[in-house]
Structure 1
Amino acid sequence: MAIRYSLRASASLSAFAVALTALSTPAVAQDAAATDTTDAAPDEANAIVVTGYRAALQSATNEKKRNEAIVESVKAEDIGKLPDNSIGESIARLPGIAAQRSNGRANIISIRGFGPDFSTTTLNGREQTTTNDSRAVEFDQFPSEILSGVNVYKTSQADHTAGGLVGSVDLRTIRPLEQKKRIIAVGARGTYIDDQVNPEADNKGYRVFGTFVDTFADDTMGIALSAAYSSEPYSIRDWNAWGYGEYGPNAYGISGVKTWAESEQLDRLGVNGTFQAKLGDQLTFTVDGFYSHFNSKLDQKGFEMPILCCGSTVASYQATPVSNPLLAGASIITDATWTGRPIVENYATDQKNDTYSFGGNLAWDNDNGTRAMLDVSWSRTDRWQDRLETTAGLGRNLPTPGGTFGSTLTNHALEFTSTFDGSNTNLVLTDVEGWSGGDGIQAGYDKIRKSRDDLKAIRAEIEQDIGGGFIDSVKVGVDHTYRSKSLTQDEGILNPPNGADSAAIPADILLKPTVLDRGFGPLISYDPRVLVPSGILDYKALPYGASQAYDISENVWTPFAMANLRADLGTTELTGNIGVQAIHTDVTSSGLTNPTIEDSYWMVLPSLNLNFRAPEDVVVRFAASKQMMRPRLPSMNNIISFGYNPAFTPPIYTGSGGNPRLRPYMATALDLSVEKYFATKGYVAVQLYWKHLDKYIDPSANNTEFDYAGLPDPGGLKPSSTVGLFSGPVNTKGGYIMGAELAGTLPFEVFTPALSGFGLTGGISYTDTKAFDVNGNPSVIPGYSKWVGNLTAFFEKAGFNVRGSMRYRSGFLGDFSLFSGGLDRQAVLSETVYDAQIGYDFQPGSALEGLSVFVQGQNLTDERQATLAQINGVAIDNTWLKYQTYGRRFLAGFTYKF
């Protein structure tokens, strides 16, 4: 996909423009002389044609320049060629945006210091359902090969109705009538990981894709079809501490240890299709369909044992004083020895997701200044997830230790010594620590979660040009969305048959032992999926799972009105918009054990975007708006447990659970951006932003006032009032987020033609933020990193292309999804990830014209993801809680377009 451009020199308007324009004047003037087409049609023979990565950057620059909002963009280099291996990685290279890795994949996005629960994701402008318990889209459900680009909107405007406190991500697919020609593209790549953590797991995989685009009926109809299939492995070395406790007075060390070798096999099919038809000169019909099937199998082979409880004995330890003044007198264990009963674990987590998204759109333009649009869409995600856990050891609750162990603190968490033989074939399936309750000996646990996320939407709008004044056009419309999310859960324990204390592990199911790192050695390995079907363990269902089911629905009406603005202020053009949304929401939350709870509320969200476009290619933007983001869906469940508590005088009800009456996060936002463009070649920008948090959510408030009237009688003694205390998510007020971003795309040819082909793109951002819990105490916002930076250096000429990239984010509070549906929030340390690519595009006229080949290296330094624990509320160095590595990934592949 070639981009043709012409550049024109221009005079200065301001001191800022003079300083920036001076850098590019020689190159711009030269290009202008060669390609200026003001008075004549372009000479196709002499036109400059830019392709590949540079063309993608220019297209993204043009999108940013002409948009009325502050937006960052990623464009495909060509059909099926986003710049990175995944959508998440491409988005994470944009200014002010960072990724949190999950199993090594950059599939969770933070915008401007807020985690994924504070932004929305749309596909072709339509809100999408998700593969997790919340609203946050995990980007690995969308194959990168089917997308033509991504826009990230950092400011609001009235006709964008999906919400988002810090921004919204819009994924775009191909529009065939915009291509105006037949395109057939195919591609494939192979993947290799340099760390194979489980012997039976693959460390090689592949991806293939194909795309067909064509128009017919004199270019009045078009079709685009894309399909992508991947089968790829992921390897994780995962070390965890249970937490930290006292080995002696004010001497803190890990209270238990868990370390796993995890291998995941991810198979995914993505299919997308678009049909467009011009039904006459004024009416265009578009229909889209997207389907993704996601099948993941995760095997975890691990070692776990308590240290400060459950029959373990600390024999000796050494500690070093903590330098943090908030923990005066405290010390951290550097070396320790202990004895105890170790547990060998073989876990399996299987997940299948099916995502469907369909939409139809009628757009009418009478060519006399009136436009109208009707859009109908449906999105659904069905998820099935099975977590199977089995444990083995020397026996159940043995009175004698199973081994002697030691630990030493290092700069990559703890290293261990062990006398325990985890590969001993005499190990049996049992409850090693004797934790089983009244349901028999628990040698394993099985939990199956099934959820359905369903979203239907209809939108209608009409726009009328005004002209001749400050108001260029007026648009009014209404958006109606109905969304429901339901969860069912089945749980059971795995017992040795016939009431036995343990079950032998048959030799015919054994796999080659897994060799752990950190000194724990080889472990007995088997597939836990075969244990119940083969009768080695029995499954006993438990009633608890059914009580965790919920069904939450939202019925949302959003009428909106927006005026588009345009005026000439001397030599400067003013563009932008001003508008307002009025949002009415009905919430219904129900479950199997508690009654249905209903709630409704209104929100009014005004917005303003002003863009001052100077002739020196300088754009100054100002935006002001009220913004909102709805709560996490699980937070609004009606599963509330409570009971009589005699510890208070007088006794009261106390309880915990979800909160169906939660209100959305809300903020008042101001943005200022100053941008200098070098035609469409590149730009530099300084962006400032400030948000006041008008309404926030404390996700785990303790002992807030709550009226339990109307909930099922818990039985037993009753207090004199139904008003008691509640622990769970509640709304709070106050806080802010403010920051600055420096971003740009700089092809070096704007400085001198001698450096044509070389360039840089990237950005750095600084954010300061504060929120408050229900008691007015400072609370850390999930996803907040003070510093986020990314940089890509590239060279592209005569078909050759080389680029190296890095992305950095400072420490942040990360949300790690628990299998229960809740969140485990941990202090994640800073990380820097390096990637590189080299490739060649065969040039026009060659025998292999249309073929591109490439080699990529990802996570080249095998960067860890690590978290710290907190001691008395303070996270300090060397209190390691989690340490994961994912290995380096190498890819080689091709695309061919004909």
Structure 2
Amino acid sequence: MINQRTTRRDWLMASAASTLALSMTLAAPASAQDDADDQASDVITVTGFRSAIENSIAVKRESTSIVEAISAEDIGRLPDNSIAESLARLPGLAAQRLRGRAQVISVRGLGPDFTTALLNGREQVTAGDNRGVEFDQYPSELLSSVVVYKTPDAQLVGQGLAGTADLRTVRPLDRDEQTIALSARYEWNNYGALNAGSEDSGHRLTGFYIDQFADDTIGLAIGFATQSSPTQSERWDAWGYPTVGAGDLLLGGAKPYVESRELERTAFVGTLEFEPNANSHTTIDAFYSQFEDTGILRGIELPLAWSGASLQPGYTTEDGLVTAGTFSGVQGVVRNDTRFREADVMSFGINHEQTLNEHWTGSLDLSYSSVSRDDTDYESYAGTGSGYGTGASDTMAFELGGSGGFVFGSSLDYADPSLMLLTDPQGWGQVGFIKRPSTEDTLTALRVEAEREISQGFFSSVEVGLYTTDREKTKRSVEDFIDLANGGATNTTAIPSNLLLEPTSLDFIGIAGMVSYDPISLLNSGVYSLRPNLNADVLTKSWDVEEQQVIGYLQANVDSFLGDTPVRGNFGLQIVHTEQSSTGPRAGQGALLSYTESESYSHILPSANFSFEVAENTFVRVGAARTMARPRMDELRASQEIGINNQVCTTNDGTGNPAFNAANYDIAGGQSCLTVSGGSPRLRPVTADAIDLSVEHYFADGGGYISAAIFNKDIDNYVFGSSARQIDMTDAANAIFDSAFIAANPDITTGILYEPVNTDGGYIRGIEVATNIPGDAVAPWLDGFGLLASYSYTESEVQPDPNQAPIAIPGLSENVGNLTVYYERGGFEARVSNRWRSEFLGEVTGFGANREFRNIEAESVIDAQIGYEFGPGQFEGLSIFAQGNNLTDEAFVSYLNDDPRQVKDYQQYGATYLIGFSWRR
């Protein structure tokens, strides 16, 4: 049933929660045995990380699907600082870092868009422009467990094509006593505060209250988590690499800077359960998170080969890349920028389950999820003069550093405020720029389900249900050019002395310092004026997408024998009907129209999962299913930008009149007067036929396992690129040209639309091996030690265009691995973890906040933790610990054109350290 306590899967989750609650009750070291107990025995108490592993293994073992699980070490303590980091340690999963922290997850090589997230079994909205969940919105401290379904069943609504992550919160009636838990952490980064005015340390506070009332018929759980976490980074960003001389690659320009960010998040979670008798159970869940991520970025943008700067003779070339030399005539743009994001996430759900008679149980679930996100991306420029060539120029030596970025030698003092003025150094037509995109996403869902228990025969129960959702996502974007109030973008103004800060060091690129000031106060001081950017590419960033979905499902559950072999599982199907529509502007060439388009479709998604216990503690699992992933929201947008093919027509022939060149008109050959490009509300979901096979052996004491799995997904209707088709553009033609010109040239009303399309697809397949080996399973003297390890190999190929070579699926690393060595005994705990992934095609935010795919280099991240839990006595219930994350300062590196020499972005975040305590009563 919907409530996680009754159906086969829901029973599994309740059992896992009960196991977790029991282990937490035992987490305090054992007290002395009753003196009246004549049979004294040694009691082995499993606590902390080892307890979390064993609970996760129990969920994996008892599931009929192929799943991976994470369980909390204690109330308010998942094994890692974030959900994404914990998920990235599971077999076949990998994280992509953003600003030094794991944020989005790839499951079995498929990117974030193919994985969905549930909260207590309910589908959640997302803060980004797409469907990929940004897990840093959910504090790990407020979760009790996470289950990742790699194979779905018919009852799993909101399922993803790659996998489904179900985030679980505490169920108070699964515990048998009042619990109060508190924890606190202090954290800092070894880089310190790279920017003047930024924070170099932070904190995290968490509290939980769990209790039961009225003879355990009412349960209440309330939790809060607040944090202020600073991150620091040194970032190298290249403009690109043109060629020079005999075709050698040359740095075209650079935008290196140091970035200091502070993540502030306050979240609350609450659960109220009411179970007056064995036949009735009601659960109310609420979650709220307020998220603010503020960043200050300071650096010097250096237009080089793609500007007026000149490469001097005598440069050095290695392997076709200019690695050292000198540029003259360099006029840098000193940048003092800020980036800000605020997001409010809310989720609410109410579930009631009722036993109708000895055979039938029914349930009703109503939920609501919403997110409101506001961003600000603000740039402020300074330099020696207005427009290239008017101020002092720099002669800069450059040399390739070991990190993949370049270091420079400068002849100018960039920290001198008398030399660096507020202006437009390169003649870009602005002294700054500000973008303010915002997103609203809401989802309302209703689920009705009935289950009939079957006491005899091969089947144990049959479930039937109906699930409906209504989702609306809206994006708006406001952008402004920044001018000087005293002279537009063609003047200079000294930086107000009261806003000057200590110079910012750029030692990592060889420049001792640059002038620094408070850009927010500057914007509010009246020095600047704003000029709206009404270009079509800005207007078309606004859109609305609506989706209504109805899912009917039927599932038969199995708990029987096949000969002498126990078998459990299920088979069933979902019938999914979707209606989608989008409204957005069709803008450009002076036209501004509203455009709306809709589409509807239905899919049948069969699924089957079976678990055979072929020997004691040895299981063979088989899963087969058709799954789907609906297109990204920004791909479904109706907003489109209008363009004119100047080879065919113009709005001004030089005399103020429009002109049409009939000789160049060839609509069949793609030569029309008007073109339009954008999203497509007509897109259909990506689908996959998947088959999975897993063999798992569990150690008799429940503390370890070893598993191996293979999987294959045949993907169809993959969304990629763009395709051209003819459309009627009469409305646009009327807005751009006069009626007489259209009457004389009727062909201009037929245009060409370039939009994303569904293509044939391809495949993704791979193998996964994983194990947890407690030391005492190997030798008694290793008691307390343990090894947790996994490795996966995945390959993929999609061919969106039969005339082009196949490509790898974005987000896929062929090799992904995790290794954790741990020790836990006598209250002492220590562990070291390493997660790594090979290179992959990642999604990043590019120029203009647009989505870009870039090659990301392989990475290996090492974390460690040490702690101690006090036993019976004055400090019973108290634990202290210390953590270190990214201990080797692993860089995040992207490169261009499949050439690792052409480093585009090189980011280093330093190591983060935390010390803290937790207390439970």
Give the TM-score of the pair, scaled to structure 1: 0.91
SS in 2 for 1:498: coil
The structure 2 residue matched to 1:662, chosen from 683, 699, 704, is 683
Matched, 1:550 2:554: no
CA apart distance, 1:90: 0.7
Alignment-mate amino acid for residue 539 of structure 1: L
Q: Which residue of 2 aligns with 1:748?
A: 775
Larger displacement relative to structure 2 (411-420 or 540-549)? 540-549
**Closer/same/farther in 2, CA of residues 410 and 801 from structure 1, 3 Å limit:** same
Q: CA deviation at 1:738?
A: 0.6
Partner of residue 164, structure 1:
160
For residues 65-84 of structure 1, the C-alpha deviation after alignment (integer angstroms, 9 at most, x for no partner) is: 00111100010011011111
d(CA) in 2 for partners of 1:315, 1:708: 54
Cα distance in 1, alignment partners of residues 39 and 111 from structure 2: 49
- Compute the displacement of 1:753 (Å): 2.7
Match of residue 31 from structure 1: none
For residues 194-251 of structure 1, what are the alpha-carbon distances to aligned partners after superposition, in whole Å with 9 as ceiling and x for unaligned?
1031132111110001000000100010000000000111101110101111122311
**Partner SS for 1:50:** coil
1:768 aligns with 2:765: no
Cα deviation, 1:77-135, whole Å, max 9, x if unaligned, reads 11011111111111111011111111011111111111111110111111111121111
CA distance in 2, matches of 1:866, 1:888: 17
Q: Contact 1:532–1:539 at 8 Å: present in 2 too? A: no
Match of 1:297 among 268, 291, 294: 294
Cα 1:365–1:46 change in 2 (3 A) is farther
Task: Give the letter aligned to residue 672 of structure 1.
Answer: L
2-structure distance, mates of 1:878, 1:101: 21
Moved more, 635-644 or 105-114: 635-644
State the partner residue of 2:597.
Answer: 597
Partner residue of 1:364 out of 324, 330, 354: 354
Asked if 1:421 is matched to 2:409, the reply is: no
Match in the other structure for 1:635: 635
Aligned to 1:621: 621
Q: Amino acid of the residue matched to residue 913 of structure 2? A: F
C-alpha distance in 1 between matches for 2:314 and 2:302: 18
1:334 positional shift: 1.6
Q: Any residues of structure 2 matched to 1:343-492 within 5 Å, and which?
A: 343-366=333-356, 368-399=358-389, 402-413=393-404, 414-426=406-418, 427-436=420-429, 442-492=430-480
Taking the aligned partners of 2:540 and 2:680, their CA distance within structure 1 comes to 16
Counterpart CA distance in 1 for 2:242 and 2:575 is: 51
Corresponding residue number in structure 1 for 2:761: 734
Match of 1:21 in 2: none
Which of 717, 736, 742 aligns to 1:695? It is 717
* Structure 1 residue 502, shift from structure 2 partner: 2.0
Residue pair 2:97, 2:103 contacting (<8 A) in 1 also: yes
- Residue 747 of structure 2 is aligned with which of 720, 740, 750? 720
Whether the aligned pair in 1 keeps the contact of 2:23 and 2:47 (CA below 8 Å) is no
| Alignment counterpart, residue 509 of structure 1, candidates 496, 499, 506 | 499
User: Does residue 327 of structure 2 align to residue 338 of structure 1?
Assistant: yes
Q: CA deviation at 1:780?
A: 2.7
Contact 1:595 1:712 survives alignment (8 Å): no
Match of 2:514 in 1: 523
Aligned equivalents of 1:814, 1:488: Cα separation in 2: 25
CA deviation string 1:36-56 (max 9, x = no partner): xxxxx9989655431211111
- CA deviation vs aligned residue, 1:161-192 (integer Å, no higher than 9, x gap): 21311101111000000012100000100001
Instruction: Say if 2:730 and 2:750, in contact at 8 Å, map to a contact too.
Output: no
For residue 694 of structure 1, what is the amino acid of its counterpart?
D
Q: Equivalent residue for 1:250?
A: 247
Q: Paired residue for 1:496?
A: 484
Residue from 257, 262, 265 that aligns with 2:262? 265
Paired with 1:4 and 1:345, the residues of 2 have a C-alpha distance of 54
8 Å CA contact retained: 1:612, 1:619: yes
Q: Which stretch shifts more, 714-723 or 244-253?
A: 714-723
Matched, 1:112 2:134: no
- Aligned-partner Cα distance in 2 for 1:509–1:835: 39
Question: Quick one: which amino acid aligns to residue 842 of structure 1?
Answer: F
Number of the residue aligned with 2:607: 607
SS where residue 427 of structure 2 aligns? coil
Measured in 2, the distance between the counterparts of 1:880 and 1:43 equals 68
> Aligned pair in 2 of structure 1 residues 370, 615: CA closer, same or farther (>3 Å)?
farther
1:459-489 alpha-carbon deviations (Å, 9 max, x no partner): 1111112232222211110110111010122
Counterpart-to-counterpart distance in 1, 2:493 and 2:360: 76
Question: Equivalent residues in 2 for 1:674-713 (5 A)?
Answer: 674-679=695-700, 680-698=702-720, 700-701=721-722, 703-708=723-728, 712-713=732-733
2:229 corresponds to 1:206 = no
Report the AA paired with residue 67 of structure 1: S
CA deviation map 1:15-42 (0-9, x unaligned): xxxxxxxxxxxxxxxxxxxxxxxxxx99
- What does residue 75 of structure 2 align with? 79
Q: What is the identity, as a one-letter code, of the residue corresponding to 1:502? A: T
Sort the Cα spacing of 1:643 and 1:494 in 2 relative to 1 into closer, same or farther, 3 A. closer
Give the Å deviation of 1:418. 1.9
Secondary structure of the structure 2 residue equivalent to 1:450: strand
Match of 1:809 in 2: 837
| Distance in 2, Cα, partners of 1:117 & 1:711 | 35
What SS does structure 2 have at the residue aligned with 1:754?
A: helix
CA contact (8 A) 2:764 2:796 kept: yes
- Structure 1 unaligned regions, length at least 5: 6-40, 323-330, 437-441
Whichever residue aligns with residue 705 of structure 1, its letter is: R
AA in 2 matched with 1:704: A
Q: 2:281, 2:354 within 8 Å by CA — same for their partners in 1?
A: yes
Letter in 2 for 1:75: S
Letter in 1 for 2:150: K
Which stretch shows the higher mean deviation, 884-893 or 154-163?
154-163
Q: 813-822 or 277-286: which moved more?
A: 813-822
Q: CA–CA distance in 2 between the matches of 1:212 and 1:583?
A: 40
Segments of structure 2 that go 5 or more residues without pairing to the other structure are 1-19, 25-36, 586-592, 649-663
* 1:761 alignment partner AA: L
- Is the 1:239–1:259 Cα contact (8 Å) retained in structure 2? yes
Percent identity between the aligned chains? Answer: 38
Q: Using the alignment, how far apart are the partners of 1:786 and 1:88 within structure 2?
A: 20
**Do structure 1's residue 833 and structure 2's residue 833 form an aligned pair?**
no
Structure-2 residue corresponding to 1:221? 218
2:904 aligned residue: 881
By how many angstroms is 1:290 displaced?
0.3
CA contact (8 A) 2:595 2:639 kept: no
Relative to structure 1, the CA distance from residue 358 to residue 493 in structure 2 (aligned partners, 3 Å threshold; closer, same or farther) is same
CA gap of 1:120–1:706, structure 2 versus 1, over 3 A, is farther
Report deviation, 1:883.
0.4
* Contact 1:571-1:615 within 8 A present in 2 as well: no
Aligned to 2:581: 588
The 1-side partners of 2:576 and 2:731 are apart by 29
**CA distance in structure 2 between the aligned counterparts of 1:817 and 1:729, rounded to whole angstroms:** 19
- C-alpha distance in 1 between matches for 2:326 and 2:716: 51
Higher mean alpha-carbon deviation, 687-696 vs 614-623, is at 614-623
Alpha-carbon distance in structure 2 between the residues aligned to 1:194 and 1:876:
32
Q: What's the secondary structure of 1:88's corresponding residue?
A: helix
Structure 1 contact 236–886 (Cα < 8 Å) conserved: yes
Matched residue type, 2:65 = A
Q: Give the drift of 1:353.
A: 0.6
What is the alpha-carbon distance in structure 1 between the residues aligned to residue 259 and residue 746 of structure 2?
Answer: 50
**Residue 658 (structure 2) aligns with:** none
State the number of aligned residues. Answer: 843
CA distance in structure 2 between the aligned counterparts of 1:630 and 1:319, rounded to whole angstroms: 51
1:18 is matched with which residue? none
Contact 1:117 1:136 in 2 (8 A): yes
Distance 1:732 1:710 in 2: 29
Q: What CA distance in whole angstroms lies between the structure 2 residues aligned with 1:44 and 1:518? A: 68
Residue 722 of structure 1 and its aligned partner are, at CA, apart by: 6.1
